[in-house]
Amino acid sequence: MRTIIEPFRIKSVEPIRMTTPAQRAKFLADAHFNPFLLHADSVLIDLLTDSGASAMSSEQWAGIMRGDESYAGSQSYWRLKQTLLEMTGFENILPTHQGRASERILFDLVGGPTKVVPNNAHFDTTRANIEHSGAKAINLPIPEAAVPSNRHPFKGNMDVEALDRLITQVGRENVPLVMVTVTNNTSGGQPVSLANMRAVRKVCDKHGLPLYLDACRFAENAWFIKQREPECASMSVRQIVRAMFDLADGASISAKKDGLVNIGGLLMIKDPALFQRACNLLILTEGFVTYGGLAGRDLEAMAQGYKEVLEEDYLSYRIRSVEYLGEKLLASGIKIIEPPGGHAIYIDAGHFCPHIPKAQFPGQSVVCGLYRIAGIRSCEIGSVMAGPNPTNPPTMELVRLALPRRAYTQSHFDYVAEACAELFAKRSELRGLRIVEAPDVLRHFTAKFAEL
Q: What are the C-alpha distances in Å from 443 to residues 133, 280, 446, 447? A: 18, 31, 6, 5
pLDDT of residue 323: 97
CB 102 within 8 A of CB 279: no
Give the distance, in angstroms, between the CA of residue 425 and the centroid of all CA atoms in the same chain. 30
* pLDDT band, residue 48 (cuts 50/70/90): very high
pLDDT of residue 387: 81
Q: Which residues, 6+ apart, have CB-to-CB distance to 58 below 8 Å? A: 11
pLDDT of residue 186: 85
Q: Which residues, 6+ apart, have CB-to-CB distance to 179 below 8 Å? A: 117, 118, 119, 122, 126, 211, 212, 213, 214
CA–CA separation, 153 and 59 (whole Å): 34
CB 92 within 8 A of CB 270: yes
**Tens digits of residue pLDDT in 387-400:** 887 877 888 899 99
Look at residues 255, 277, 303, 250 and name the one whose alpha carbon lies nearest to residue 77.
303
**Tens digits of residue pLDDT in 5-42:** 889 999 999 999 999 999 999 999 999 999 999 999 99
Q: Is the dihedral of CA 430, 148, 194, 307 positive or negative?
A: positive
Q: Which CATH number is associated with domain 58-308?
A: 3.40.640.10
Q: Is the pLDDT score of 440 beyond 90?
A: no
Domain residue ranges in the chain: 21-50+311-451, 58-308
Q: Is the pLDDT score of 1 beyond 80?
A: no
Dihedrals phi, psi of 158, to nearest 5 degrees: -90, 145
Q: Is the pLDDT score of 247 beyond 80?
A: yes
Q: What is the side-by-side strand order in the sheet with 379-381?
A: 344-348, 398-402, 379-381
DSSP output for 67-84:
----SSS-HHHHHHHHHH
CA–CA separation, 284 and 62 (whole Å): 31
Strand 265-269 to 93-96 pairing: antiparallel
E strand or H helix at 66? helix 58-66
Look at residues 277, 274, 268 and name the one whose alpha carbon lies nearest to residue 247.
268
Q: Residue length, the chain?
A: 452
CA–CA separation, 59 and 207 (whole Å): 45
Q: Which pTM value belongs to this model?
A: 0.95
* pLDDT band, residue 63 (cuts 50/70/90): very high
Task: Kindly tell me the burial class for residue 318, based on how many C-beta atoms sit within 10 Å of its own C-beta (0-12, 13-18, 19 or more).
Answer: buried
CB 281 within 8 A of CB 109: yes
- CATH architecture label of 21-50+311-451: Alpha-Beta Complex (3.90)
- 265: β partners: 96, 254
